[in-house]
Structure 1
């Protein structure tokens, strides 16, 4: 039987708790520790959305990301959108990484009849952080989904390619159209899935050149437009949190017989564009048209 000890001195209680508490197996502490409070977000949201009210997602937008990232420089993030009559069309979504030096990773806007229901990309995460997706519906309401990601150092991680190689391939694009359930363009009138890859270092300004030991200036894709014919599918305003060699996978309502066009611009004023015929499958690579 254990004796009951009354601790009248708070300092003694703290010391004893630290001593005996440290003897507990580490997993007990880890299992009981949940994500921290959103203190950064509370001070950040007014700067991004002013005084607009932000509601819970309620299934209108969902976000998936690994709880512990394997590589903080390329953290996969998946967004899904519900676009029924009750919730209304989603016209824009803002991706935010609370603890990044530049928290707003990207703002995506969707065409009025694009029917985008899924969007995936890769982000840099600089410290343990909430990652948020704030969707704006046609009625102007904001709906937020969030997840907590354990990763650190993503914004300062060295580039995967050396400078010469990155510049030699700057702006090259690959477009992949995933096969429809029924082959042929006639079947590709709903929910076509596509993946766009752009060769670009997307330097954050926080990375160090491993040879010179100087910081590499920020240089990233800041504007992107994807369209089919004259119809906007989506546009993006990006920042330093989008990973090297930006990669976007999205699902939208396609129209048969119209080409896919992509235009991009980076922070040094370079512009890249290309277009591809809409096909049911295949991986097509282009040289940038600058």
Structure 2
């Protein structure tokens, strides 16, 4: 009987889909969060769980571009802000996000660097409370991983943007849409070396980004060194009929970028 039970359990596990691996990497206990907690939330005690589900790989394929997805599970919740924290990174706060009404329910993806095995947690702010959820990610070396291009090439295309739209191009313009914004920027962390000189490349990264559809703000991001090279943001939103999105960004060197991107390129 015991043998049959074990066999059935093993077969059931083997039959589980690949995405079920995600349930194996909940947040873990550790001293780092105890050190960070007060600086991030003060005396507030975040409630575990909440209206956002966080998805991130248990073992990252590339520590320099780890996908983190925020999905709203309670459509009635009003989510105004979310902070992505990577406990073990040199600068733990990866991104502070704010969302406009058209982003609800939140379905948002960004890519981050993970420097060593770490909790990747999201602090979610609603008018009622602060919540916390996340994943434990096995990755290392993301903040010091070599840039994909040499500095001259990387800076030559600085600030170039691209918008990609997904779904049925014939759907009504006022329907819910899915989009991806790509921004050309090396987002140097300050921990990477020039592969020719072997000297450290000074930190130089996008520190603020805004996405608008007409006069309606979709989202903002205040970021640090943990946002990946050539930042990519994929998100769903309620289209208000304006034919383009406007993206505004600044970086730590005082550069300002702005581009109006037509909603024409379908994925």
TM-score, L = length of structure 2: 0.86
1:45 matched to 2:45: no
Partner residue of 1:206 out of 184, 188, 191: 191
Q: Secondary structure at the match of 1:95?
A: strand
- The one-character-per-residue Cα deviations of 1:124-174 (angstroms, maximum 9, x if unpaired) are 0000000011110123x1111111111111101110111111011100001
Q: Aligned partners of 2:120, 2:251: CA distance in 1, in Å?
A: 24
Instruction: Give 1:237's aligned residue.
Output: 222
Instruction: Give 1:287's aligned residue.
Output: none
1:82 matched to 2:73: yes
Deviation at 1:208, TM superposition (A): 1.0
Whichever of the two has the greater Rg, that structure is 1
Instruction: Give 2:210's aligned residue.
Output: 225
Task: Call closer, same or farther: CA 1:63–1:36 in 2, change over 3 Å.
Answer: closer
1:183 matched to 2:170: yes
Instruction: Give 2:46's aligned residue.
Output: 54
The runs of at least 4 consecutive aligned structure 1 residues that moved more than 4 Å come to none
Q: Aligned partners of 2:143, 2:75: CA distance in 1, in Å?
A: 37
Task: Call closer, same or farther: CA 1:235–1:83 in 2, change over 3 Å.
Answer: farther
Q: Secondary structure at the match of 1:90?
A: coil
Q: Is the 8 A contact 1:83 1:90 kept in 2?
A: no
Partner residue of 1:121 out of 110, 115, 132: 110
Instruction: Give 1:164's aligned residue.
Output: 152
Task: Call closer, same or farther: CA 1:190–1:115 in 2, change over 3 Å.
Answer: farther
1:92 matched to 2:92: no
Unaligned runs of 5+ in 2: 1-25
- The one-character-per-residue Cα deviations of 1:95-139 (angstroms, maximum 9, x if unpaired) are 010000000000010113442521111110000000011110123
* CA RMSD, Structure 1 to Structure 2 (Å): 1.8
Partner residue of 1:246 out of 231, 246, 254: 231
Q: Aligned partners of 2:67, 2:257: CA distance in 1, in Å?
A: 24
Q: Is the 8 A contact 1:83 1:89 kept in 2?
A: no
Task: Call closer, same or farther: CA 1:36–1:257 in 2, change over 3 Å.
Answer: closer
Q: Is the 8 A contact 2:27 2:135 kept in 1?
A: no
Q: Secondary structure at the match of 1:256?
A: coil
Instruction: Give 1:67's aligned residue.
Output: 58
Task: Call closer, same or farther: CA 1:216–1:166 in 2, change over 3 Å.
Answer: same
Q: Secondary structure at the match of 1:148?
A: strand
Instruction: Give 1:282's aligned residue.
Output: 266
Task: Call closer, same or farther: CA 1:193–1:210 in 2, change over 3 Å.
Answer: same
Deviation at 1:36, TM superposition (A): 5.1
